[in-house]
Every structure is written in C-alpha cells, then in structure tokens.
Structure 1
Amino acid sequence: MHKIAIYNNKGGVGKSTIAVHLADALRRIDLKVLLVDLDSQNDCSLFLGLKEEPENTFFNLIDYRYPANLSECVTEVRENLDLLTNRNYELIEKDLHRATRIDNFLDKALKDAAKTYDYLIIDCSPSRSIINSAILFYVDSIIVPTQLEVASIRGFSDIYNYLNDLEIDTAKIKLVVPNMFDARTKESQDNLKELESIFEEDILTEPINRRTKITEASKAGETIFEYDTDTQLEQFYNLVERVVKLG
C-alpha cells in the first residue's frame, strides 16, 4: 500500500480538489483507494457528495476509551473508493499530544489499511500541526499542490524547513503540482517558469489548468470525470500516471 499526503502549508492551493480527483482516478483503474480527510475543513466529503456525516469517523478510530475498527469508520463513496472523515479535530489533536510518540501513531491507527487498499491518500490542513507532523512521518510520499502566485512559491522554503525540523527526509516530496494555471496571464506563465527553475522534471508535474467546470463539479459533489466528460482531462491523467510510477 502506497501512502500519500497532499500537503501545503498555504491554503487555497487546491489540496482537497487534487486529493479527491487523484483518488477517483486511481479507483477508475481498478485500484482500491482509501481517502483520509484530515483537513479541518472536511472538504473531501463535500466534493464527493457525502450527504450525511458517518456515525464513526477518524476520532472513533483512535479513541483510546472505545476504539473502533477501521472497517467501522470508513464509508464507501464510490466503487473502489472509501472515505475516512474526521470530526472533533481538536480532540484528535489532544489525543496526539497525549501520545508517547507521534512518529508511529498513524502506523498503529491505520494498521489494517494495508490489508484492503492499494493507495491511502491523506488530505492535510494547511498548517504546521501535530496532526500534520504525524501524517508526514507516516506517509511514503508527499505531493505538494501549489498555486501559481509568488506567495505560494516563496512558501516552499517553509515546507522544507518543517520537514527538516521534524528530521524527515525532504526526499519524501515526490511531486509538486502547479495548480489553477491560467495560460492567458503573464503571472501564471512567469511563476511556472520560476517553478521549473527550482524543481527537476522528475518532481514537477505538468500544470493543471484553472477550469470553471472543476469548481462546478466540486460544488455538485462530483469529480470532473463524472460532471463533464467533455473537459480535457489529460492533466489529471498525467498526474495519475506520475503517481503510479512512484510505486
């Protein structure tokens, strides 16, 4: 099972959109995927059209008093795609502060996932937090979506500093995804060139264009694959191909 964090310490870069679309695309090639929503905004549920909050969420999985099994906490949202939502985000943080170690916390909490899933994708909050620290220790790969604006690009140093502070190898950052690219603007073009000067081709993916249809799909609780099959989807498929090559 390959474990992936979708992380950036800056909000508004499309993390949840990337996480949901990556999960949906992987399950479409007959891979079993668990999407774990550990973003305090809980956008994955919205983007996948989950109408009712599940009875059991991530907190029930780690509740030291009455822990639930993973199978009791996940919700099947599509064929081959399960979602593990979160609730009581502050209580999850408190449990982590109580833990003796955070570097293996999720290994224990999600120990049963490898029996069922090919990929486990975690949507993270845009912050330094004890929850994110536990996630970054746990995963095999980090994918960083970034908006093509100066502030987002400058923020990369903070991500690398965060990993260094945790003594996590920065080589865990496997892919950087330029998101919401608008080829009509000089700013997008210039900032894409800036990213190309920073990152090697094996890390930087092709940009994903800014499309109104993607926003509409998310509001409708669908992925773009479901909402508008006429939209050019090559960029998402290219991302999926890059992810599969990671192993």
Structure 2
Amino acid sequence: MKKIAVLNNKGGVGKSTVAVQISHGLSMLGFKVILVDLDGQNDSSLFLGISEKDYNKTFFDLIDKRNDVKLEDCIINARESLDLLPNSHIEEINAEFYRESRIDLILNEKLQGLENLGYDFVVVDCGPQRTRINDSVLCYVDNIVMPVQVEAAAVRACGSIYEYLSDLRLSPDKISLIIPNMYDQRTRDAKENLEFLREFFKDEDNIVTNPINRRVKITEAGKMGKTVFEYDEESAQQFFEVLERLVKKVG
C-alpha cells in the first residue's frame, strides 16, 4: 500500500484540487484508493461533491477516546474504487496530537486497518503550514507530492519543505513529485518562475512534472463537486500525465 501526502506549507496553491484529481485518476487506472481529508477547510470532500450531511463519522471520531468507532464506520464511497475519510473538528485533532508522545506512530495506529481493506493507495490532503497533524502525516507517508503555484513568492518558498523534513529528522527522498500548478503560459513571469523551479530541483532526479495550466474549467469542476475527469478532457489529460509520472515514481 503506497502512502502519499499532498502538501505545501503555503495555502492557495491548489493542493486539495491536486489531491482530488490524483485520487480519482488513480482509481480510474484500476487502483483502489482512499483519500484522507486532513485539511481543515474540507475542500477535498467538497470537490468530490460530499458535504457534512453525507456522513456521520469522521477521522475525529477515530481519535476521540469517548467513542468506540471502527475505521470502516468513518469511510464513505466517493467514486468507483475511490473512498473518502473526511474530517471534522480539525483544531481538536491537532490539540490531541500534541498530547501524543510518539507522533511518528499515531497515524500508523489509527489507520492500521486500511491495508486489510485492500487499498493500493492512501492519499492524504494536508492543511497548509506546519501543524502537529502534518508532522504525523509526514512520518506516516512514504511519498510527498507538492503542488507549487507558478508565481514568484510560492516558487521561492518551496524549499521550506526540506527544512520541515529536516526538523522532523525525515529523509528528503520522501519528496516524489513537484507539480507546477496554475501555470499561465502567456506570461513571461510564469515562464521565468517555472524555469527557476526546474533549476532549483535539477539535482532531484527530474521530480518536477509538466505544469498544470490555469483553467477556469478546473475551478468550475470543483465548485460542481466533480473532478476534471468528469468535466474537462483537456485538464484531465494534463493530470493523466502527472499520474503516469507518479505511478512510475512510487511503484
């Protein structure tokens, strides 16, 4: 079972959008996938057309010591071969994780049943910034996919992921793909920032993918609770190219 975090310390880079497209795309390639939504805004759930009225139990119930809840009770089906583990009370989850002495073990304990349920991939949508939840996710996963908005501030800040991993004493080899996102190929600034991104990671075994172009239809799809594979063929093709790289990297 491959475990992937979609993470960037900066908000607004399209992280949840990428997490949803990767998850649905992998399921369409024949893999059984679960998307674990640990972003407090619940965007992954919403982009799949799933809201709070569609579930009763969440990841929070798994760590709430007042409840005796099974992992299966918190999982809902989102698409064929794609399930979702939603969240609630994200600040309380983060506070609870601060009380844990072994942050490197907590997710292995809480999610240990996933492999027995037959999943090929676990994709975790992380919130922005450094949190105790994200600490635990980085200890849990084998691979990190980092979307980076192709604009100056985001590109120049992307190296902070190495500092984060170093602080947790984790290997930088966990970084599997960098996805340039929201790319506007019409502007010189975007082209320069893309080139800077490729140059920055040039020694990292070609981990920078082709960019995902800025398209209104990607935003529209999310607002309608659909993925690009259900809404826009051109956008879907871009993500399939990313998926091909991802499967080769983590396979």
Task: After superposing the two structures, state which structure 1 stretch, 167-176 or 61-70, moved more.
Answer: 61-70
- Name 1:77's counterpart in structure 2: 78
- Name 1:42's counterpart in structure 2: 42
- Name 2:8's counterpart in structure 1: 8
- Name 1:66's counterpart in structure 2: 67
TM-score, length-normalised on structure 1? 0.96
TM-score, length-normalised on structure 2? 0.95
5 Å-filtered alignment, 1:1-247, equals: 1-51=1-51, 52-115=53-116, 116-200=118-202, 202-229=206-233, 231-245=234-248, 246-247=250-251
**Do the aligned partners of residues 127 and 53 (structure 1) sit closer, same or farther apart at CA in structure 2, a change above 3 Å counting?**
farther
RMSD between superposed Cα atoms in Å: 1.1
Aligned equivalents of 1:87, 1:232: Cα separation in 2: 30
Deviations 1:111-148, CA, capped at 9 Å, x for gaps: 01112200000000111010000000000000110001
Amino acid of the structure 2 residue aligned with 1:219: K
Task: After superposing the two structures, state which structure 1 stretch, 71-80 or 87-96, moved more.
Answer: 87-96
Aligned equivalents of 2:22, 2:188: Cα separation in 1: 28
Amino acid of the structure 2 residue aligned with 1:120: V
Q: Which runs of 4+ in 1 moved over 3 A?
A: none
Aligned equivalents of 2:59, 2:106: Cα separation in 1: 13
Task: List alignment gaps of at least 5 residues for structure 2.
Answer: none
Aligned equivalents of 2:6, 2:157: Cα separation in 1: 15
Aligned equivalents of 2:62, 2:171: Cα separation in 1: 28
**1:232, distance to aligned residue in structure 2 (A):** 4.7
Q: How many residues align?
A: 246
Task: List alignment gaps of at least 5 residues for structure 1.
Answer: none
Amino acid of the structure 1 residue aligned with 2:109: K
Amino acid of the structure 1 residue aligned with 2:16: S
